[in-house]
Amino acid sequence: MHPSSPPLTGVPPVCRPDPHAGERWTFGFPGGLTAEVHTRGARLHGLWAPDRWGTPADVVLAPRDPARTATTARYFGSTVGRYANRIAHGRFSLDGTAYRLTTQETGHCLHGGTDGFDTRLWEAESVHTPEWTGVLLRLRSPDGDQGFPGNLDVTVSCLVGRNDELAFSYTAVTDAPTLVNLTNHAYFNLEGEGAGDVLGHELAVDASHYTPVDADLIPRGDHRPVSGTAFDLRRPLRIADALARPGAPGGYDHNFVLTPRGAGTPRRAAVLYAPATGRRMEVLTTEPGLQVYTAGQFDGTVLGKSGPPYGASAGVALETQHFPDSPNRPGDPSTVLRPGEEYRSRTVLRFGVRD
């Protein structure tokens, strides 16, 4: 299958084995979205969406060499956990017990630790209804995994709808008090992966506050209003213009505190739009936060699926989440899951076009 061509649309999904990716599942509906998911890392590897002229292109970044997902492209499109984002110094206390997690080179725990969910081979099965098609992925994380307490059973469904939506639904249960914060780490370029950077895209984020961070991207102080800062994206703004504002050197890698709506129902978090192609992606979520990462650290060492290397701002990640380091910040929404409870999270990416 040529990487720039849409995969076969499977109804129900089509599965192909791959020594690096585990199983590759492709699914979608004719004339609409088509997705490719890999079971290693429960990873969104590709997503073909039509532009304003009806021509599909893959809008998700992924490396040409799947083995790169173990190194420089580790998080591309993956499900990250147990804890998405950072826990300072890999330490937290829960019910009076101190825990120590595995840490990366910065000395902090990022996206679940050195061997997080992105490295695991998930079990998968087909899901198909008249309106939705896709895969259900399952993983057991044992007690002590990366330092986290409790056996955790996780399910992630990735479904394409007839109305051009891609929906991620997450559930988890535990047999001991633990932390859970899951998300998908896809990078999007609505002009097509490999088409260049996303600086010409327009981005809006429904957030009145953001989380300032230190040099290690660990939160410092309280959440601050976006008004009058580089983080005011309440109205659509070209990413290039947003990053030209003082206060966001190197681009965004920050948590935005989403404007509360009704609990348990996905509400709009962000809108991404590419004027060159007319593609528009609306992000809806039940989560309280959104990590916006404009990939300012991409340096061209990862070759993309279509060939060109991914340079700075080749894509943008819009990671729905609870807040970074919230286990050590009592004022933030809790990420504690206890026996008898069920963790539930849902994020919907709604695609369309504008003239």
* Active-site annotation holder among 111, 185, 223, 322: 185
Q: Show the 3-state SS of 178-215.
A: EECECEECCEECCCCCCCCCCCCCEEEECEEEECCECC
Give CA 345 to chain center in angstroms: 13
Give the position of tokens 């999270």.
345
Q: Are 132 and 161 in contact (CB under 8 A)?
A: yes
**Separation between Cα atoms, residue 270 and residue 233, nearest integer Å:** 9
Catalytic residue among 108, 201, 319, 322: 319
Round to whole Å and give the CA distance between 128 and 144: 35
- Helix, coil or strand: residue 192: coil
Q: Are strands 187-188 and 316-321 parallel, antiparallel or unpaired?
A: antiparallel
Which phi and psi (to 5°) does residue 309 adopt? -70, 155
Distance, CA of 164 to chain centre: 18
DSSP string of 256-272?
Answer: EEEPP--TTS-EEEEEE
Decide if 160 contacts 183 (C-beta within 8 A). Answer: no
Cis preceding-peptide flag for 224 (omega within 30 of 0):
no
Is residue 319 flagged as an active site residue?
Answer: yes
The one-letter amino acid code at 206 reads: D
Catalytic positions, written as ranges? 185, 319
